[in-house]
Structure formats: structure tokens, C-alpha cells
Amino acid sequence: MSIILLLLFSLCAFSQAIGATTNDDANRLQTYIVNVQPPEGIGFNSIEDRDAYYRSFLPPTTDALDEPRMMYSYAHVASGFAARLTAAEVCSVEGCAGSDILAGLDAAVEDGVDVLSLSLGGAPMEYFGDPIAVGAFAAIEKGIFVSCAAGNSGPVASSLSNDAPWLLTVGASSMDRTIRSTVKLGDGTEVDGETLYQPKSFLPNQLPLYVPPPGGALCADGSLDSEAKGKVVLCERGGGIGRIDKGQAVKNAGGAAMILMNDVENAYSVLSDAHVLPASHISYAGGQKIKAYVNSTSKATAAILFKGTIFRRLAPIVASFSSRGPSAVSPGILKPDIIGPGVNVLAAWPVPVIGNSTSGRPNFNIISGTSMSTPHLTGVVALLKSAHPDWSPAAIKSAIMTTSYIDTWQGLPIMDERLRPASLFAIGAGHVNPLKANDPGLVYDIQPNDYVSFLCGLNYTDSQVSVITHKNTSCADYKKIEEGQLNYPSFTVHFGRSSSSEVTFNRTVTNVGAANSSYAVGVEVPKGVSVVVEPDSLHFSEVNEKASFSVTFSRNGTVKGLAHASGQLRWVSDKHELRSPISVVFRS
């Protein structure tokens, strides 16, 4: 029997989940997908037989509960089931010890587990104290891949979590699909926005446009007066008030529709929500156009035109909420590692059972967050794991990172929420490219002991390192390495007052492509530095053959006023191109 356990958590529940272990933590219900491979030679005569087999993996205590725990039984695209379980019950399914889900994370990687996907986020913390990093280390030691959400605290710098180098840290980007609703002003000006709720009964007629005074601009519950009745109300995003809640406040005040404008921070990053009334979520720039129009007339009006789903817009764009690097714990490792689709994702939506009824609740929803992009990457990992069962977690991560792309489908650089070229601290290596990741040619591999050398290089004490490795570990037994010397598929260089003006990093690649192949180096040199790669070509005669090279970075003249520069290193053969991002940080 083989079980793949995908742990699905909500980002907003993070503070509760990683707190001190309590009975409440152990008894909290979470949604899990358990893939079960039936023993060879056993078939199912009926749906009932299949379901009974799946239920055999659930703890006996769940049978006596009023609320059914089995949510869905898979038979076609997967073999397994979805269920609502507590941490203790998961441990019962997986045979792990302990009742806390995070303490049990490392124990949940017993034989048969291939991939762990965690949509948890939170404040950065040292690796021996962020339980995800501790549990995930046990996973990678057993060959288990762990992908984690970078978090939804962007676009603030150094806001990402789950930044341990043995984790795949995933940011969120948009797709080329928009569910468009356009605001048409009384003077004919049109401002495009988005909404999932597009009722056919709402006519595109011009209605009075109302901009609340400062006290009601955020559209908090009860903040709108009778002036909103029958009008299109302009609400400003933020204030700790949910986007849909703002629409509910407008509806409660008798408003006919809502225009939700972004704040400066979210800029052009808009979302398709299931609003409770006709609405359009628009950019900050669009909101300024509307305010200028209102100030130009005494009888401002607006209509909302629903245009349905439209494809081929500029994409990918990094979502404003996607947490950014650099890592606060280990700035010598570029994070996030990768970005993937995480905006307006149509996803299955588990419906809580109330009594014996789930009527009136949707089975699907459109959701945005790094908790949406992370499962996309986890799915890619599962495919790569299936195609290359002998690849280590680090090799799979390398394949994903070095084959990613950094341009939109229109040929422009990937943009951020301001529609400016996104930095490496927003996109990491770039946007995932599953097809190319399956055949990268070369990979940067890392063994668990290499991470121990990395941890010792961070000047962690033996006891702190032992917490992560789950065994007594003495750094005296390992060669300490600086962060940049870890065999990572990216390069991060720091030049400061006390640092040398020259630094050399060593890397080793493994040939997973053709037996006889050669690669030539190419470098897009970051501003303010010079780069020398030795040797400048690599030659392989066998599969799994290794080759090493060094990269020397030197400060090149003055960098006055320059805080950060970026570039890339490429290894190119007749069939493959591996790209590693280079991030350079200057401190005057």
C-alpha cells in the first residue's frame, strides 16, 4: 500500500496551528486528500466495496460520529478519498506518533508518502523554531518532497515564510484569464475590473454614483448613510475589512452596486470575488480616474457592464499579496524559489455537512492566495516524481527552478502589481514550466548532510541543529559552509563594508540528460559586478555523471546609489538551457 498525504491548511489559521500544542490543536478538523493504491490483484465489485476499502483506513472512532468524515471517494483520475480528520486521526491513518499535526509532520513521512503540500504561512523565524522546517527536514531525509506557500503578506519586503532551503517556497501569479466587469462612467470613460458575480438581471443602466465621505470610504459595516440607497457606491480597499464584507455593507445600506478600488499598495492587482451584489474590483489608477470624474460634475453616474470570461490578457503578473524576499532568516539563499498560478483559481470547495444537508452551499469557489499556487507546484512535483522516481527532492526542485521562464506570453518581463518588471525577490527563479522541468538536462543536487553543513555555517548551536536533524548532531563533525556555498540552483551575493570585494561560489551539476553532451556557459552580468565562470564549458559522457564549476563575483567600480542588481547564469547545450538567477545586494 502506498499513501500520498497532502496537508491542506488555510493561511489564516497559521497562528493557531503553530502555537503551543493543545488539545484543541489535536482535535481541530482539517481537510486531507489520501491517495490509496490498492494491493495488486484486488479489484472492486461495486462502489460500495471501494468505499468500504477506503473507510478501512479511517480510525474506528470516526464511524460513531454524527458528521460523516468521508467527503469524496475518487475512482477515475485518482485512487483514494478526501476526508475531514483531526491531527490525532491523521496520525492513526499514517501510523505516526503524537497528537499534534506539526509535531507529527515528520512522523507522517513513513513508507509510501511521496509529497507534502503545506499552505501555511506566518512570520519568519529561525529554522529550529518554524515547526514546518523541522518536520520537513525529516521528510527530505526520506526522499519526500515538501512544497510550501511563501505567504500572503506581500508586497512587503522580507515578508515570506517557509524559507528553509530544503523547502520549495512558492509565490503566486496571475493567469491570462479575467472575469471582467467594466465600469462605464457618465462621460463615456470605461474602467475595467473583475467580479465573479455577474447577474443577468442587473441592467447596464447609468445610476447615480456615490463617493462616501472619509468616514465611510472603507465601507465598514454601518458606516454608510442613506445617501448610498439606490446608487453605485465607490468603496476603498483596506482597513482590515474583507472585500466581500464591503459589498455586504453597501447592500445593507440599500446600495445598488459597488465599485471596489484598490489602495496604492495593491495597485493593479485585482481579484474576481463572489460578491453579494453587482460589483467591479478595479485598480488604484482606475479609482483615481473615477474620483477625478466625480469632481468634474455635479451629477456623476456609472453603469457596470458584465463581460464574462476573457482570455489572453497580460500574464503572468505577480499578485500583490504574494510574500516577497529576501529571506529574513537566510538572506544568502534567494527566496521565493518559484511562482505559479495563484490568482482567481477555480477550486473544489469543501462543504461542511450541517445535519444531513449541504444544500445552498457551493461545491466550487474561485480563490486567490499562495495556498492556491502551492498545490499547483505540488502537482508538478508529483508528475516529476512519477517520471523520475530516482530523483531526490533537491534534484526535482532544481529541475523546476532552472527551467522556469521569466517573460509573459507577450514577450515582456514578468510584471509585479505595479506593472513594473518584477524583482527576483518576487519571482525567485521565475514561473514554473512543467514540460521543460521534466527534461532539464542537468540538476543541482543536495544531500541532507549538506544542509547540516549549511546550518552549522549559520552558527547554530549543536542543540539547535539537533532539533532540526532529530538526532544528536555536532557541527565539529561537519564542514561549515556559507549560505552561498550550498549547491543551490540560484546565486545570492552580498557586498558590504565588512565583506570582501570578491567572492567565489562552487557548484556541482549532475547529468540527467543524454549520455554524451556538452554545455557552454552564458552570463547576463548584474550591474556593478564582473563575473568569471571556470570552466566555461562542461562535458559529459555518461548519465548521472557529475561536473563542478566555480563562479567568481567581483565588485566592478563604484555602485553608488545601487542597492540591488540581478542577472542570470545559463548552461546551454544543443537541447537544453538551464538558467540560474543571480541576485546581488550592495551595502554602502
Q: For 466, left (φ over 0), alpha (ψ -120 to 50), or beta? A: alpha
75: cell is 475512482
How far apart are the C-alpha atoms of 494 and 503, rounded to whole Å?
Answer: 9
| Torsion 360-366-370-374 (CA) sign | positive
Q: What is the pLDDT along the chain (588 residues), one digit of tens a residue?
A: 233 344 433 322 222 222 222 334 456 677 666 656 555 455 666 777 777 777 777 776 555 555 667 777 766 545 677 787 776 666 555 444 323 434 445 444 454 568 878 776 667 889 998 778 988 898 899 899 999 999 999 999 999 999 999 999 999 999 999 999 999 999 999 999 999 999 999 999 999 999 999 999 999 999 999 999 999 999 999 999 999 999 999 999 999 999 999 999 999 999 999 999 999 999 999 999 999 999 999 999 999 999 999 999 999 999 999 999 999 999 999 999 999 999 999 987 766 555 555 556 677 888 999 999 999 999 999 999 999 999 999 999 999 999 999 999 999 999 999 999 999 999 999 999 999 999 999 999 999 999 999 999 999 999 999 989 988 999 999 999 999 999 999 999 999 765 568 999 999 999 999 999 999 999 999 999 999 999 999 999 999 999 999 999 998 876 677 889 999 999 999 999 999 999 999 986
How far apart are the C-alpha atoms of 153 and 321, rounded to whole Å?
Answer: 6
Nearest to 249 by CA among 261, 258, 240: 258
CA 194, 198, 204 angle in degrees (round to 5)?
95
Quote the pTM value. 0.83
| Torsion 59-61-64-70 (CA) sign | negative
